[in-house]
Amino acid sequence: MALFGTDGIRGLANSELTAEIALDVSVAAAHILVESSSNKDHQPTAIVGQDSRASGEFLEAAVVAGLTSAGINVYRVGVLPTPAIAHLVAESTCDLGVMISASHNAMPDNGIKLFARGGGKLDDAIEARIEARMGEEWKRPTGRGVGRAINDDTATERYLKHLLASVETPLKGLKIVVDCANGASSFVAPEAYRRAGAEVIAIFNQPNGWNINDDCGSTHLHKLRSAVLKEGADVGIAHDGDADRCLAIDAAGNEIDGDHILTILARGFKARGKLNKNTVVGTVMSNLGFMHAMKESGIDVVTTPVGDRYVLENMIANDYSLGGEQSGHVIMRDLANTGDGLLTALQLLQEVVRTGKTLQELASSMVRFPQVLINVKEVNKALLNESAAIAAAVKSAQERLGDSGRVLLRASGTEALVRVMVEAASDNLAEEIARSLADVVKAELG
């Protein structure tokens, strides 16, 4: 099984993802950095950050040990969001960025994400080269050839400066609640929103190593909803453990997902002449309501496979400025080269101030279609596209739904299952058709 997935390495810390693996990955990455450098006299440098998981402490130590032992100078920036690491690499002359985080996963997991020079994620080919070099024999540098580990106390302030540079319209008059998921945004997000002019109430911003994503953050919105209603706030902002996502709650307690946010931003970007080629990039899982809202706004939509990596690849290849996912990953290429939950929140809040409308009013321009997702487990997913019976069932379902619904079947990239997604005008119809298709998939592939 490949070590790297669609977003770096991820697994149960100290079981599937060990200190030994972290050290070996770091050494292999260092070797490839040195070999690919055009300046052989240049000593490569790396930035290493982490989220608030306790396991990040020993994994960071292993990563720093691996890099410095291979001759890389390391700047340790401590607990910061994943997009902060991407930005810090992009603004500097550093050759590599390493973020130790498992994002929205539960606390026992952890992960390693690698960023190339310029702040972009490593492409698949380089990840494959790193994996192939792990554990190889190598000549270790000695004396002045080893790398140094330096604590960078300026990193947080530099990232805050970057965030605030995106604020053209101060957030004066807005009262917001921010749920930091006891994660990487716990220290920087409340400060960013306060400096941008908002009145800020921070919750779940006391990480202790064990409580990251624990019934809080972007995957558990109920407590943020309660806090928004209790405080009479205008907006609630939710981040995940590494803060590359942003979801929201409006003043009435309604959930504002990534498709709503993308709708609001796309319309705002278009109005200000910042929507390149009049196009926004979504994924195959983007809600049909988003598609309809964009059509009504005269905005084109391009879809990619699920994953912010694929969204970004399409944006770069076609010079699009805005894209994202239903999960709250939003990429604004004029501001950053990766999804940044804090930048997303700042742009969303500015739309509220600019337009003089409430978040509820802005979000109402997209009517979300009921969506049902069923995971059909223990099936031979490789045969999904070869079954005539499944193809016929999908065709029949789509004909029944017409323009008021959508069917999507896709094999999971990480598990032995097929995902059946149906959108329809009503919950009951979506559920009925999804169950029927799931039964066909089970019968044909089980």
C-alpha distances in Å from residue 273, one per residue of 193, 293, 317: 25, 18, 20
Q: What burial letters (b/e) apply to 366-383, b meaning 16+ CB within 10 Å?
A: bebbbbbebebeebebee
C-beta of residue 371 within 8 angstroms of C-beta of residue 422: yes
CA distances from 160 to 85, 87, 303, 348, 426 (A): 12, 11, 32, 17, 43
Q: Is 304 in a helix, a strand, or coil?
A: strand
Q: Just list the catalytic residues.
A: 103
359 to each of 22, 173, 220, 223, how far by Cα in Å? Answer: 43, 14, 20, 19
255, β-bridge pairs: 249
What 3-state DSSP class applies to 9? strand
410 φ/ψ sector (left φ>0, alpha ψ -120 to 50, else beta): beta
CB contact at 8 A, 111 and 8: yes
- How far out from the chain centre does Cα 400 lie? 35
| C-alpha span between 270 and 351 (Å, rounded) | 12
Find all residues with CB under 8 Å of 339, minimum gap 6, and list them: 83, 244, 245, 308, 324, 329, 330, 331
For the sheet with 417-423, list strands across it: 371-377, 417-423, 406-411
Contact (Cβ atoms closer than 8 angstroms) between residue 288 and residue 235: no
Q: Tell me the three state secondary structure of residue 131.
A: helix
* Buried b or exposed e, range 212-251, using 16+ CB within 10 angstroms: bbbebbbbbbebbbebbeeeebbbbbbbbbbbbbbbbbbb
